[in-house]
Amino acid sequence: MSGTLYIIAAPSGAGKTSLVKALLEREQGITLSVSYTSRPPRPGEIDGQHYHFVSRDVFEHMATNGAFFEHANVHGDYKGTARTAVEPLLSADRDVLLEIDWQGAQQVRTKWPDAVSIFILPPSRVELERRLRQRASDSPEQIARRIADSRTEIARAREFDYIVINDDFAQALRDLQAIFACRRLRRDAQLGRHQALLDDLLKPA
């Protein structure tokens, strides 16, 4: 038996990062894999906590040497998940969460077909653009690129197992928690976790 690999993806501005943070505060049994990125840190971001920040040359060297479980060019910058941050944990029966984009999700599903994938959608395009423009960390050029790229990203939502609409934050968080609870209650997971109980219940009277 191995741990469950979860994928959460979304267009920029959908609120994915805030939802993941709140989810992890409530779901203690999940390990978030911290991605690598070639972009510089935004104000308030901490290396090793929000991302592993490396140069483009270092990232490309890692990719060439097979260091990544998945990687992609996202809005002009590289992002990727290290193999060492995923495979050993899954083998040790730990649940792992990847907060990645749709390109990385495609790669992960190919390597790990049992991964549970979730796509976060905003309630409307107007709200998506409002959230992006509210960011103080992105330049007008970056915002324009993210808005343009969002259509391509949203078109991939149908490839995911679950879709959560982030209109009301509390409800979106409850929806995410329900997905995780449902996965844990599947037959194979429960039988593997509670084999001793099953054996006891099946003892002859």
Instruction: Report the chain's terminal Cα–Cα distance, integer Å.
Output: 30
* Predicted pLDDT of residue 82: 95
**Residue pair 26/174 in contact by the 8 Å Cβ criterion:** no
Average pLDDT over residues 112-124: 96
Is the confidence at residue 196, as pLDDT, over 70?
yes
Phi-psi region of 125 (alpha: psi -120 to 50; beta: other; left: phi over 0): alpha
The domain made up of 5-33+94-201 has a fold known as: Rossmann fold (3.40.50)
Is the confidence at residue 146, as pLDDT, over 70?
yes
**Residue pair 191/199 in contact by the 8 Å Cβ criterion:** no
Is the confidence at residue 138, as pLDDT, over 80?
no
What is the percent of the chain with per-residue pLDDT over 90, rounded to a whole number? 76
Query: From CA 182, how far away is CA 85, in angstroms rounded?
Result: 25
* Predicted pLDDT of residue 41: 93
**Residue pair 182/174 in contact by the 8 Å Cβ criterion:** no
Is the confidence at residue 2, as pLDDT, over 80?
no
* Predicted pLDDT of residue 187: 86
* Predicted pLDDT of residue 188: 84
Question: What tens digit of pLDDT does each residue of 41-98 get?
Answer: 988 899 999 999 999 999 999 999 999 999 999 888 999 999 999 999 999 889 999 9
* Predicted pLDDT of residue 205: 79
Average pLDDT over the chain, rounded to an integer: 92
Q: Which two tokens stand for residue 56?
A: 């483009």
Is the confidence at residue 31, as pLDDT, over 80?
yes
**Residue pair 122/11 in contact by the 8 Å Cβ criterion:** yes
Is the confidence at residue 11, as pLDDT, over 60?
yes
* Predicted pLDDT of residue 1: 52
Q: What is the DSSP secondary-structure string of 9-60?
A: E--TTS-HHHHHHHHHHH-TTEEEPPPEESSPPPTT--BTTTBEE--HHHHH
What is the percent of the chain with per-residue pLDDT over 70, rounded to a whole number? 99
Is the confidence at residue 9, as pLDDT, over 60?
yes
159 Cβ contact partners less than 8 Å away, ≥ 6 residues apart: 102, 105, 106, 117, 119
Q: How many residues does the chain have?
A: 205
Q: Which two tokens stand for residue 30?
A: 């999940």
Domain definitions of the chain by residue range: 5-33+94-201
